[in-house]
A and B are shown apart, each in its own frame.
Chain A
């Protein structure tokens, strides 16, 4: 770390970023709006979330020379990077952001013009589109110094990150998690993963020229675990009837647990959010004004359609109270154990639903359905995410057989707004609402 960039980063962090956030907020003073007929007043924490995200992307521009930057997959054990002081960015999160701003299609098209197939994941296409053209709605992303990927979420990330490694000429660290075909604990798979972790630490020491600080690592694990538990409690507030937030809110509030895990800022944020939600649940304030039925969501969000869908569901009194997606960051990270950091890290990251056999996912869904008193299931068959979408028709059939839970499948995409048929999706959803209302 050279002195000047380090001082500049420090200055931007302590003075520049807060000033920029204040400046951005000025002039945005909206007049008091009349109460929304569908939704409760917005959560106060949402403003803090927006600040957190803006600040995270804003500060990333001042890292050059001050600290190394790593691009990380959503399922990689980022805790291992923290003691080395990497500034971490998540291309998947950036792609979701592009999707939500409806520029995903345009960025995918850049990748397609360079020969990448439209059948590839749109997160990958958007990121490659960004890498090839520098286009991004967040202004500018810093060039990465390191790539860190794990195949616990899909195999696409390996090839996607190999392309990035070649393009930027930087090292790529891969963490391979054998697929869990059974529930068996320990064994050669665990040894294999712990072995990789040791090798990754050595690799990182070589790249960074720094010794691995095991104490700092344990503290990070502790912090990540506590943050995950807080996220789990945030989600659990939706067990209340009416639910104080919906999954559409959770899709937005999940950013810190995905991208800022193992950092103080994420823990602080969830303490704030949890307090507000618990208070709302206590007062019986529902996120939507009239909660008639409670639903579960399966698969990644349809980012470009969040607002439209939130309105459509709310206008029918349908509240999403749980999702396999948002739950993924609360499901296994509590397994983290600062006393046995490497082993627990391997366990937590290899047990995620996408790396697990279908019966496991089914049991998880059955538990969520019971705990959150779910009336119906909406299954997003995502064009991009094959590992998440395969087996959904079996899940649909089995949940109907075992728990009499009706469901509907909608075909869309996570971030490419071009793969969406508005009228057809609306008809499917409305038919599903009609069937639910008749029960």
Chain B
């Protein structure tokens, strides 16, 4: 039996996935990237190995992806997260036609073809609106743990209007809503609506095709997923662990290359 690894060094978190030769996940890990990409990659790799109960020598090929992909010395190859998310999502849901990945630093919409190939993509990478960073800033402002945002927004009865697409201006809108004692759940829902509008306009640029799969950390927020599905008028599927899809895709590439 031989094994392959994928390491996704993102702006906020680093994930590692280890696959056996049948492409089954035998180990995975998620860590904070911190300030040292190479160390984060090594630690995530070690944690995934420990999870799989394997020595490092058992890994035939490792592929690195994410913004820190150049800082993974033990990777045989570096592949962009766009190709990795496409392949990972396609492998999990073979009828995937569109991948929406909202990460910490940017968001992407990818059109996926046969065998998980990238047909087209668009990225939002010039501003924080429409990224996980936007939710981070807002959660801190509202003193809500990030992971509670989704639940709270689903509990909202109404919805506050956040009209600005800029994180800094949206934050000042939130400040004035707080000043007027607007219910917190409704503000959160308004924040989610704002991020979803940004993402939906990107989806329209590429065009929706087939089933929609959402990956990346923000996919854990059910509030965002529900609104996204409402705005797109179609279901949005989320894998059991959306954060490791990039690393999973990288490991699949490693398996392809190493076989």
Contact = CB atoms under 8 A, between A and B. Distances in A.
Q: Do A and B originate from a single complex? A: yes
A428 B119 CA distance: 13
A424 B118 contact: no
A314 B80 CA distance: 18
B67 A427 contact: yes
Interface in A360-401: 393, 397, 400
Given A423-B67, A435-B118, A397 B80 contact: no
B120 A400 contact: yes
A407 B122 CA distance: 10
B15 interface: no
B104 to A, nearest CB: 13
Contacts of A428: 123, 125
A434 B125 contact: no
B207 A397 contact: yes
A406 B119 contact: yes
Contacts of B123: 424, 427-428
Given A406-B120, A421-B126, A427 B205 contact: no
Nearest to A410: B123
Taking residues whose C-beta sits less than 8 angstroms from the other chain, chain A's interface range is 10 to 19
Given A411-B126, A427-B80, A434 B205 contact: no
B250 to A, nearest CB: 12
B83 A424 contact: no
A409 interface: yes
A431 B120 contact: no
A424 B123 CA distance: 9
Nearest to A406: B120
A220 B67 CA distance: 54
Contacts of B126: 411, 421, 424
Nearest to B125: A424
Contacts, number: 42
B255 to A, nearest CB: 16
Nearest to B11: A423
Given A421-B125, A423-B67, A434 B207 contact: no
A434 B83 contact: yes
Interface in B30-78: 67
Interface in A394-436: 397, 400, 406-409, 411, 421, 423-424, 427-428, 430-431, 434-435
Contacts of B28: none
A431 B205 contact: no
Interface residues of B, number: 18
A406 B205 CA distance: 14
B81 interface: yes
A119 interface: no
Interface string B113-145: 000011111110110000000000000000000
Nearest to A428: B123
Contact of B82 (A393, A411, A431): A431
B40 to A, nearest CB: 16
A397 B118 CA distance: 15
Contact of A435 (B67, B119, B122): B119
Contacts of B154: none
Interface in A89-116: none
A308 interface: no
A431 B207 contact: no
Nearest to B111: A400
Contacts of B117: 435, 438
A427 B118 contact: no
B106 interface: yes
B134 to A, nearest CB: 16
Interface centre among B67, B80, B81 (most CB of A within 10 A): B80
Contacts of B120: 400, 406-407
A424 B106 contact: yes
A438 B79 CA distance: 12
A409 B79 contact: no
A427 B82 contact: yes
Interface string B189-221: 000000000000000010100000000000000
Contacts of A406: 119-120
Contacts of B81: 427, 431
B38 to A, nearest CB: 16
Interface in A150-166: none
A425 to B, nearest CB: 9
Contacts of B121: 408, 431
B80 A431 contact: yes
Nearest to A438: B117
B205 A393 contact: yes
A409 B202 CA distance: 13
Contacts of B207: 397
Nearest to B206: A397
Nearest to B80: A431
Nearest to A383: B126
B245 to A, nearest CB: 15
A326 B79 CA distance: 32
A431 B83 contact: yes
A427 B80 CA distance: 6
A407 B119 CA distance: 9
A406 B125 CA distance: 20
Given A409-B122, A424-B106, A434 B79 contact: yes
**In the complex, the 10 A-B pairs of residues with the closest C-beta atoms, listed nearest first:** A431-B82, A424-B125, A431-B80, A435-B118, A434-B83, A430-B80, A427-B80, A438-B117, A393-B205, A431-B83
Given A406-B119, A408-B121, 7 more contacts: A423-B67, A424-B125, A427-B80, A428-B125, A431-B118, A434-B118, A435-B117
7 contacts: A424-B126, A427-B67, A427-B123, A431-B80, A431-B83, A434-B82, A435-B117
